[in-house]
Structure 1
Amino acid sequence: MKKIVVTGAGAVLGQGIIKSLRAASLPCEILSLDPNPLSAGLYWTDRSMLIPMASDPSYASVIEQILRLESPDAVLVGTDVELDIFAKHRHAWESKFGTKILVSDENVVEIADDKFATVEFLERHGLSHPQSVRGEDDHALAQLIEDVGFPLIVKPRRGARAVGVSMVHDVAQLTNALAGRSNLIVQQMAGEEDQEFTAGVVYFDGAVQASIILRRDLRDGNTYRAYSGDFSAYREYVHDIASALKPHGPANFQFRVDGKGVPRLFEINARFSGTTPMRAIFGFNEVDLCLRKLLLNEDVVEPKIREGTVVRFLEEQFIDERKIPWATER
């Protein structure tokens, strides 16, 4: 029985990791962490603990204390805001506490976190992407409009779940979208809405060990329907991105395909993603694959993908007042 710590029990990502662990073939005890006592994922695991917000100065020392007391076999990070902390301390904590922390190097996390850094990374490696410029670069903006026209996508350089993202159809809308804001990126529309894909890879030992590509529909920035199919035409593209990025374990790539069949990547997640539990339903349980590799030194075997559609829906959960020992003030 392996002891696995999962952070972010209140986040879509953290909860998806817990779901995938529960569906995994690796027997494990799960310890979930989150700052909020009413986070649903805290009640799905064998044990749970409250921790500070990642922005709290005490966060790293609290994590160190948990690693010292619990001696987990592995730690899985369930929110974006914790990634850079775990990336910074990964090698030291692994050595000091004898655990495995599934997080990529700091430079990989930074490339994924900053969408303009993502564009620069793709350009360096000759990989297709939407033409993109900084929002404050007026000359480059004018050139972008001349080169690709409208519509254009305006988004924060750092962000998630389509928060702050808008599509603009003319100069007036573009001006309005940029007004009073900073650290924005303006991009060519990568492709049509019905040609959006999400890909997951497992990367170890300098190579992609397994991958899956799904077409998806979005709602409020999250995948709510995913479709398997023969998307092998984009396999080489996905593998080329992963080989250039060199993540540690899981990575997620989101792209659209234009009218000429060219895939254009617009977002990297250097981690498990919100679609991780959906991919597990298709047969690609990347959480299980990564842990069996890290903890049992098993070779990663490319899973057989089920043909069909996975749909996501809301679900309610009752929490007995007596099971909320931390919620003394609300």
Structure 2
Amino acid sequence: MTRVLVTGAGAVLGQGIIKSLQSATTRCEIIAADPNPLSLGLYWADQAELLPMANDPAYPAAIEALLDKVRPDIVLIGTDVELGIFAEHRHEWERKYATRILVSDPATIEIADDKYATARFLESHGLDMPLSVLPEDRAALDNLIATAGFPLIVKPRRGARAVGVSLVHNHAELEQALHGRNGLVVQQLAGPDDQEFTAGVLFFEDEVKASIVLRRDLRDGNTYRAFVGDYPECDEYVRAVARALKPYGPANFQFRKAADGRCRLFEINARFSGTTPMRALVGFNEVDLALRYLLEGQPITQPAIRPGVVLRFLEEQFIEAASLIPSASQ
């Protein structure tokens, strides 16, 4: 049985990876890890482990101790904040603990983490993207306003789930959104709200092995409705982005289609996605595909995807007092 370590078991991404493992054809023993003993994903796993927060200096040593203890066949990373650490140590830890760590290289993660770097990367490869400038460059900002006009998007260069994002309709709103803040990027509006897409690829051996594109509706920065359809021009676009980016394994692309039909990507996640379990429901279980490829040598072929709509909803789970995991301090 395949032993899979999933970090970030309390995050939407980590929980989505666990859900995808539970519906996989690969028989898995799931070891879930998280800093919080009340993280729900810990209670879905065969084994639960506690870790420090990723920004704790003790985190790398704790990961090494955990890898030595559980000896997983593969590690799947469930939060963004852990990606850089695993990327830095990937080859060392793979050799030392005879495991596989599914993470892209540090340069790829840096492009994905920084939205201005994402825009520059796309531009350097001749790929459509929203025009993007740093607000400190007033000449570039004035040129963006003259070229793209309002509305514009002001967002943190590093961030997720639309936290700190402002839609501004005029100069006054723009100045208010910029006031007292650092680390921002100002972007052309990529397209209308009803033309937002999320896409995923699996990329190995210098080629896209499989891909999926979903149109989506957002709530609080997360996908809560995903529409499965035929979007060939969007699929061609994300495959071109993936061929330029060259991630190791999974990558997630978020973009909108403009009135002129062009896809304009505004976010890359060099990892699985919060929509990973939604994709699995329609026949695209990218976690299972990656495991079978990496651990069993099975080739990845493009899955048949069922048309329809995926609806996301809240659900509750009761944990008996006797089953609660004690905190690390207890």
Same fold (TM over 0.5): yes
Determine helix, strand or coil for the equivalent of 1:93.
Answer: helix
C-alpha distance 260-325 of structure 1, shift in aligned 2 (>3 A): closer
**1:70 Cα deviation (Å)?**
1.2
2:231 match: 231
Conserved 8 A contact 2:50-2:328 = no
Within-5 A mapping of 1:67-146:
67-146=67-146
SS at match of 1:235: helix
User: How far has the Cα of 1:327 moved from its partner?
Assistant: 3.9
* Runs of 5+ unmatched residues, structure 1: none
Provide the rounded CA distance (Å) in 2 between the counterparts of 1:186 and 1:321: 49
Aligned-pair identity (%):
63
RMSD between superposed Cα atoms in Å = 1.0
Distance (Å, rounded) in 1 between the aligned partners of 2:133 and 2:182 = 13
2:287 — aligned with what? 287
For 2:49 and 2:329, how far apart are their aligned partners in 1? Answer: 17
- CA distance in structure 2 between the partners assigned to 1:214 and 1:130 by the alignment: 20
Q: CA deviation at 1:277?
A: 0.3
Structure 1 distance, partners of 2:328, 2:87, is 34
- Residue of structure 2 in register with 1:45 after alignment: 45
> How far has the Cα of 1:135 moved from its partner?
2.0
Asked if 2 retains the 8 angstrom alpha-carbon contact of 1:135 and 1:182, the reply is no
Give, in angstroms, the shift of residue 138 of structure 1.
1.3
Asked if the contact 1:135–1:183 (Cα under 8 Å) also holds between the matched residues in 2, the reply is no
Equivalence for 1:34: 34
SS in 1 for 2:214: strand
Would you say the 8 A contact 1:136–1:184 is kept in 2?
A: no
Indicate whether 1:263 and 2:238 are aligned. Answer: no
Output the CA distance in 1 between the equivalents of 2:189 and 2:325.
49
Supply the distance in 1 between the matched residues of 2:133 and 2:295 (Cα, whole angstroms): 43
How many positions carry a matched residue from both structures? 330
* Alignment-mate amino acid for residue 76 of structure 2: L
Alignment partner, residue 183 of structure 2: 183
Aligned equivalents of 2:305, 2:235: Cα separation in 1: 14
The Cα shift of 1:137 comes to 1.6
Contact 2:153-2:189 at 8 Å conserved across structures: yes
Q: Where does residue 208 of structure 2 map in the other structure?
A: 208
Q: 2:253 is matched with which residue?
A: 253
Residue aligning to 1:199: 199
AA matched with 2:206: G
SS of alignment partner, residue 38 of structure 1: coil
Per-residue deviation at 1:249? 0.4
1:248 CA drift (Å): 0.5
Structure 1 residue 328 displacement after superposition: 8.3
In the other structure, the counterpart of 1:309 is 309
Task: Give the Cα–Cα distance (whole angstroms) in 2 for the partners of residues 41 and 58 of structure 1.
Answer: 22
Q: CA deviation at 1:329?
A: 7.4
Asked if the contact 2:253/2:265 (under 8 Å) is kept, the reply is: yes
Q: Please list the CA deviations of residues 84-126 of structure 1 after superposition, one character each: whole Å capped at 9, or x if unmatched.
A: 0000000110011110000000000000000011011001100
CA deviation profile, 1:118-146 (whole Å, cap 9, x unmatched): 01100110000000001222111111100
Residue 321 of structure 1 deviates from its aligned partner by 1.6
The Cα of 1:323 is off from its aligned counterpart by: 1.3
Scaled by the length of structure 1, the TM-score of the pair is 0.99
Residues 1:244 and 2:244 aligned together: yes
Stretches of structure 2 that go unaligned for 5 or more consecutive residues are none
